[in-house]
């Protein structure tokens, strides 16, 4: 009986540590769409848009009424470039 409770305690401890490490793996706010705020430049994020064309690259229709490629949305998020939106 004592061996079973020891195993259960060890398993519980390992589960707790794994859960804590899993939570710490979300390094940047862009890793989790549920905790992300809007882009500083006011442009939409990919999870705010709906896919409108499955091509290469995919195109997304966003709430601002414009269509963006996946690469443009990535550039908005990273702030690396000022892409031009398509109408």
Mean pLDDT of 72-87: 73
* Ranges 43-47, 56-60, 73-77, 80-84, most confident: 56-60
Q: Is this structure's pTM higher than 0.95?
A: no
pLDDT of residue 83: 52
Q: How is 9-50 classified by DSSP, letter by letter?
A: HHHHHHHHHHHHHHHHT--SGGG-TTSPPPPTT-PPPGGGSE
> What is the model's pLDDT at position 6?
87
pLDDT tens sequence across 26-71: 555 555 555 556 677 778 888 888 999 898 889 999 988 999 999 9
Straight-line distance from the first to the last Cα atom of the chain, in angstroms, rounded to the nearest whole number = 70
Using CA atoms, how far apart are residues 62 and 51, in angstroms rounded to an integer? 9
């Amino acid at each position: 009986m004592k061996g079973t409770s020891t195993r259960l305690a060890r398993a519980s401890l390992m589960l707790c540590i794994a859960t804590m490490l899993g939570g710490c793996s979300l390094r940047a706010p862009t890793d989790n769409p549920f905790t992300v705020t809007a882009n500083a430049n006011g442009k939409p994020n990919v999870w705010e848009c709906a896919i409108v064309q499955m091509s290469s690259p995919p195109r997304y229709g966003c709430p601002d009424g414009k269509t963006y490629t996946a690469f443009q949305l990535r550039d908005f998020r990273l702030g690396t470039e000022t892409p031009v939106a398509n109408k």
